[in-house]
Amino acid sequence: MGYAIEHAVSLSVRDNAALLDATHGSGPGDPYSAPPPARPFLEEVGADPGQLRLAFTAKAPNGAPVEADYLRVLRETATLCEELGHIVEEADPEVDGEAIVPTFRTISAVNALNAIRSHPSGAAPGPGDLETVVANTVKLAEGINGATLMSATQTAHRIGRQMAAFQENYDVLLTPGLGTLPPKLGWLDMMMDDLDEYWRRVFHFSPFTVWFNTTGQPAMMIPLGRNADGFPIAVQAVARYGDEATLFRLAGQLEAAKPWFDHKPALVTQ
């Protein structure tokens, strides 16, 4: 339903743009599509972005706290953007933030149920065939009726319109990449029995990304900072719907000003 968008983790803005050039575009009959780009995305990397109007916010839509390293790197990035000639101001988008996670959970649960029921084998999953989180999500979805799903879909569309209204005044919104550093292995466990606790942990760790799964806007993680251990800290940059080109121009400019390619945390180099 427009939520799951796969692209890539890359080492450079150039590689990211080249891969999107190779894979972008809709197929005949696709219900969702973005405007075609004016030129290849690869040509946007290194192109002058002009003077952009940028907003930044540290306010997670679900109210999750954000660790100091992510707040620091967000403000450092805002300052860097000002030094590069952009107009930057702090502004919190007025959206139904508390509705984002419940909306995602409703829509994703129903899609999980549909995926299980439409499995090519035609067989229902047996005991142990599904991870516990998936099995419990399917059980949850069995109690969701069509009207509830339709309401969640309309809520997602409303949040998209709220963000479109906000970004009439801003070319790009900057947010922290995550709320916390990656947790230890096992903290996010697909075999957890408590489904609500699982999702609480997911959106405590990553409260900002689902926001733009919901709106459908292009968003990019840019690893412009590091913590004391050398671990990369990213800022998320979000453009208007269908405006990936602006993201690539800005990200290319930021990469040139503060390159990350040769930086490796001690964990990698030891």
User: Closest Cα partner for 135 from 120, 154, 150, 116?
Assistant: 116
Cα–Cα distance between 133 and 51 in angstroms, integer? 46
Neighbouring CB atoms inside 10 A of 210's CB total: 20
Report CA dihedral (128, 130, 131, 135) to the nearest 10 degrees: -110
For residue 139, being part of any structural domain is answered with no
Cα–Cα distance between 168 and 237 in angstroms, integer? 16
Neighbouring CB atoms inside 10 A of 202's CB total: 17
For residue 148, being part of any structural domain is answered with no
Handedness of CA 52, 56, 61, 62 (dihedral sign): positive
pLDDT at 270 over 60: no
For residue 94, being part of any structural domain is answered with yes
Of 26-35, 152-161, 249-258, which gets the smallest average pLDDT? Answer: 26-35
Neighbouring CB atoms inside 10 A of 15's CB total: 14
For residue 8, being part of any structural domain is answered with no
For residue 150, being part of any structural domain is answered with no
Q: How much is the average pLDDT of 124-151?
A: 94
For residue 267, name the pLDDT band (cuts at 50, 70, 90). Answer: low
pLDDT score, position 147? 97
For residue 196, being part of any structural domain is answered with yes
* CATH code of residue 234: 3.90.1300.10
For residue 146, being part of any structural domain is answered with no
Number of domains in the chain: 1
For residue 34, name the pLDDT band (cuts at 50, 70, 90). Answer: confident
Cα 12 vs. chain centroid, distance in angstroms?
18
Tens digit of each residue's pLDDT (9 = 90 or more) over 138-182? 999 999 999 999 999 999 999 999 999 999 999 999 999 999 998
Find the domain containing 196 and state its range.
13-22+37-98+156-269
For residue 70, being part of any structural domain is answered with yes
1 or 183, higher pLDDT: 183
- Whole-structure pTM value: 0.93
Tens digit of each residue's pLDDT (9 = 90 or more) over 95-106? 999 999 999 999
Cα–Cα distance between 218 and 210 in angstroms, integer? 12
